[in-house]
Amino acid sequence: MELRRYFDLLLRWWWLIALGTLLAAGSAYIFSKRSVPVYQASSTLLVDQSKQASTDYTSIMTSERLTQTYAEWLRKRPVLDEAIDRLNLPMTTVALANAIKVTAVRNTQLLVISVEDTNPARAAAIANLLPEIFREQSTSMQAQRFTSAKTSVEEQLTQVRGDIGRAQEAINKAQAAGDATELIRLQADLRELQASETTLTKSLSDIRLEEAKTTDNLFAIERAEAPTRPIRPRTSQNTLLAAVVGAMLALGAIFLIEYLNDVLKNPDDVQNTLGLTTLGAVPEVEALLGELTVVESGQSGAAESYRVLRTNLQFAAVDRPLRTLLVTSPSPGEGKSRTAANLGAALAQAGRRVILVDADLHRPRLHRLFKLPNNTGLTTALVNGGAVLDQLLRDTAVPGLRVLTSGPLPPNAAELLGAVAMKTLLVELTEQADIVVLDSPPAMALSDTALLSTQTDGVLLVLYADKTRREMARRTLDALQQVQARVVGVVLNRVPARGRGYYYYYYQYYHSGGYYHSGDGRNGADSSKPRRRSLFGSRRQPVEQEPTAENA
């Protein structure tokens, strides 16, 4: 049942889902088509460390860190400014930096330079130029550093060698003079100078070796080529994703609307909110068939719904037969008078003696529905206790159905309906009919309904589908229960019948749930008519139990 409800919900709101999907997909498509295509070119570089003989863990870590350093260096301002100058790019350094992505391939010495641009050739040119500029700047920087170091060492080495030459001359003079003490001192100084020379010579050699190792160690192993297809916008993908998002947003909006919609829509809502059984569901199409649907359009689905209500009332009153039934609703305009009139006609068509009483002494309608005079009626019987009841009951076009109209409207309706005379009148009416159906004022508007509910065998609550609010229906039920009224069930009126909509759901609900047991009555006015196909294609006509005065 829950799956069917969700399915019916989707069918009812399919237009919103379709609209959300089309709007989102269309907007994404138009936006993608109007967007400037962006291309991506990539080049792959190798950070070469082959000149380093050591392969220990420290060297490996140094290599990986060097690769990460180069990846950051390639996106720095000196490299980017030079690229802008050489290619005369129409963009700022920040814009170029945002268009470049340098990625170090994990566990390798590879760098991938990706450049995005609206011009595919320019994207490839930038990707290929950046490594060249980097090598030039790196070589220049290293050369400057090593040149400065070599110059300093060479100057020191020249000075030390000059000092060695002078020390040698001093030693020669000391030997010639035969000064042994001076000779020993000069020879010690010479040895220190020679040691300094050796150290400086080694330093110079190390600098030259280091310079050789760090020169030109970044190589392009795959040059960038101008791409032929843009990486974005991806029109098909964007349109599809937008369509999915639009549908999901529409679904979310639908469930939110349904959650916030505080109205009774189906029998499950009635059961969950009020704990009452829905005895009948009258389709919305009834409004187009006239007021007395059972009489004027006996073969319609709306008339069938009243016959369903007729039989369900019989089964709802198995333990305690209904001789008097009060029909009411929470507020005006929910179809209680029409329901009472059509239910009375359906009961009469099943062979029952029915009296309809218009107990709405504020806005009576039964005399208009049956086109009867209203100069005398219920108020006449209540005020003039000696009035002959047979003279007040009006015959109708439906055999077995009589109507007691409201009569002149009194200023003290509640007092009249709550008086002993009303109880006495109901006893007299039940003696002349199998069932007495009373049309009362709206329960929440006036106290008349509460007074009448205590004098009848049961109350039938009429609710307007998709209009009656849960809180209003709950308050109405509470008010009736406070006076210990017996509410036998609910009639859901004006149920939408949009395709496989709510009315289809209710139709299946009654058949599959065991609520639909009736068909045409044995003595009903329409019992002799040929079997018909229902609104939904079923030829099944349930057989109604033989009506009796007891179970009416």
At residue 389 the predicted structure's pLDDT band, cuts being 50, 70 and 90, is confident
**34-48, 413-427, 489-503: least confidently modelled range:** 489-503
Decide: residue 494, CB within 10 A, 0-12 exposed, 13-18 middle, 19+ buried: buried
Mean pLDDT for all residues in the chain = 82
Beta strands in 273-353, from DSSP E residues, in sequence order: 278-283, 324-328
What integer pLDDT is reported at residue 498 of this predicted model? 55
What is the C-alpha to C-alpha distance for residues 325 and 336, in angstroms, rounded to an integer?
12
CB 316 within 8 A of CB 527: no
What integer pLDDT is reported at residue 213 of this predicted model? 63
What integer pLDDT is reported at residue 215 of this predicted model? 53
Q: Is the pLDDT of residue 516 over 60?
A: no
Give the pLDDT mean for 96-113: 89
Q: Does 184 lie in the same domain as 78?
A: yes
Query: How far are the Cα atoms of 104, 528, 530 from residue 520, in angstroms, in the given order?
Result: 84, 9, 11
Q: Does 476 lie in the same domain as 372?
A: yes
Residue 305 resides in a domain: yes
What is the C-alpha to C-alpha distance for residues 348 and 527, in angstroms, rounded to an integer?
12
Rounded to 5 degrees, what are φ and ψ at 397? -70, -10
Q: Does 305 lie in the same domain as 419?
A: yes
Residue with tokens 């529905």: 369
And the tokens for 5? Answer: 């409800």
**282-286, 372-376, 444-448: least confidently modelled range:** 282-286
Give the pLDDT mean for 320-340: 92
Give the pLDDT mean for 344-358: 94
Q: Is the pLDDT of residue 543 over 50?
A: no
Residue 80 resides in a domain: yes
Q: Is the pLDDT higher at 311 or at 180? A: 311
Residue 428 resides in a domain: yes
Q: Work out how many domains the chain is built from and give that number.
A: 3
What is the C-alpha to C-alpha distance for residues 288 and 271, in angstroms, rounded to an integer?
29
- Kind and range of the H or E element at 492? strand 487-495
Residue 485 resides in a domain: yes
Q: How many helices (H) and strands (E) does the chain have?
A: 20, 12
CB 330 within 8 A of CB 442: yes
Residue 372 resides in a domain: yes
DSSP SS3 for 530: coil
**277-286, 338-347, 446-455, 478-487: least confidently modelled range:** 277-286
Per-residue pLDDT reduced to its tens digit, 32-82? 999 999 999 999 988 876 554 445 556 556 667 778 888 888 889 999 999
CB 494 within 8 A of CB 464: yes
Q: Does 299 lie in the same domain as 197?
A: no
Give the list of residues 6+ apart from residue 105 with CB closer than 8 angstroms, or none: 111, 112
Beta sheet of 278-283, edge-to-edge order: 278-283, 487-495, 458-464, 324-328, 435-439, 354-358, 401-404, 394-395
Output the CA angle 321-323-328, nearest 5 degrees: 105
What integer pLDDT is reported at residue 62 of this predicted model? 67
Share of the chain above pLDDT 90, in %: 44
Strands 487-495 and 278-283: parallel
**In this structure, how many other beta carbons lie within 10 angstroms of the beta carbon of residue 111?**
24
Beta sheet of 110-117, edge-to-edge order: 100-104, 110-117, 39-47, 218-222
And the tokens for 46? Answer: 């190798």
At residue 223 the predicted structure's pLDDT band, cuts being 50, 70 and 90, is very high
CB 74 within 8 A of CB 113: yes
Q: Is the pLDDT of residue 142 over 60?
A: yes
DSSP SS3 for 327: strand
Alpha helices in 325-419 (DSSP H): 336-349, 366-369, 378-383, 389-392, 413-417
Residue with tokens 């870590």: 61
Q: Is the pLDDT of residue 465 over 50?
A: yes
Q: Does 306 lie in the same domain as 214?
A: no
Residue 531 resides in a domain: no
Give the pLDDT mean for 470-482: 92
And the tokens for 216? Answer: 């030109």
Q: Does 134 lie in the same domain as 55?
A: yes
What integer pLDDT is reported at residue 552 of this predicted model? 32
What integer pLDDT is reported at residue 324 of this predicted model? 94
**In this structure, how many other beta carbons lie within 10 angstroms of the beta carbon of residue 258?**
13
CB 240 within 8 A of CB 143: no
What integer pLDDT is reported at residue 309 of this predicted model? 92
Residue with tokens 């190792």: 213
Return the closest-CA partner of residue 396 out of 369, 374, 418: 369
Q: Is the pLDDT higher at 437 or at 546? A: 437
What integer pLDDT is reported at residue 462 of this predicted model? 94
Cα maximum dimension of the chain: 174
Residue 548 resides in a domain: no
What is the C-alpha to C-alpha distance for residues 68 and 91, in angstroms, rounded to an integer?
26
Residue with tokens 């080495």: 157
And the tokens for 151? Answer: 């110059």
Return the closest-CA partner of residue 542 out of 359, 224, 315: 315
Q: Does 197 lie in the same domain as 143?
A: yes
Q: Does 142 lie in the same domain as 273?
A: no
Q: Is the pLDDT higher at 456 or at 530? A: 456
Residue at 36: amino acid letter: V
Q: Does 82 lie in the same domain as 20?
A: no
Q: Is the pLDDT of residue 267 over 90?
A: no
What integer pLDDT is reported at residue 58 of this predicted model? 60
What is the C-alpha to C-alpha distance for residues 70 and 222, in angstroms, rounded to an integer?
17
Return the closest-CA partner of residue 191 out of 157, 168, 159, 162: 168
CA–chain centroid gap for 122, Å, is 44
What integer pLDDT is reported at residue 539 of this predicted model? 32
For helices 2-12 and 14-34, angle between their N-to-C axes, nearest 10 degrees:
60
Q: What residues make up the domain containing 397?
A: 264-513
Residue 124 resides in a domain: yes
Rounded to 5 degrees, what are φ and ψ at 59? -65, -40
Q: Which of 76-85, 383-392, 516-525 has the highest mean pLDDT?
A: 76-85
Q: Does 475 lie in the same domain as 490?
A: yes
Q: Does 438 lie in the same domain as 362?
A: yes
Give the list of residues 6+ apart from residue 431 with CB closer than 8 angstroms, or none: none
Give the pLDDT mean for 202-222: 76
Alpha helices in 384-482 (DSSP H): 389-392, 413-417, 420-432, 448-453, 470-482
**463-467, 469-473, 527-531, 537-541: least confidently modelled range:** 537-541
What is the C-alpha to C-alpha distance for residues 414 and 379, in angstroms, rounded to an integer?
12
What integer pLDDT is reported at residue 219 of this predicted model? 82
Share of the chain above pLDDT 70, in %: 84
Which CATH number belongs to the domain containing residue 296 in this structure? 3.40.50.300
Q: Is the pLDDT higher at 185 or at 522? A: 185
Return the closest-CA partner of residue 128 out of 219, 229, 64: 219
Q: What pTM, to 2 d.p., does this model score?
A: 0.58
String of DSSP letters for 50-94: TT----SHHHHHHHHHHHHHHHHHTTSHHHHHHHHHHHT-SS-HH
Q: Does 278 lie in the same domain as 249?
A: no
CB 494 within 8 A of CB 282: yes
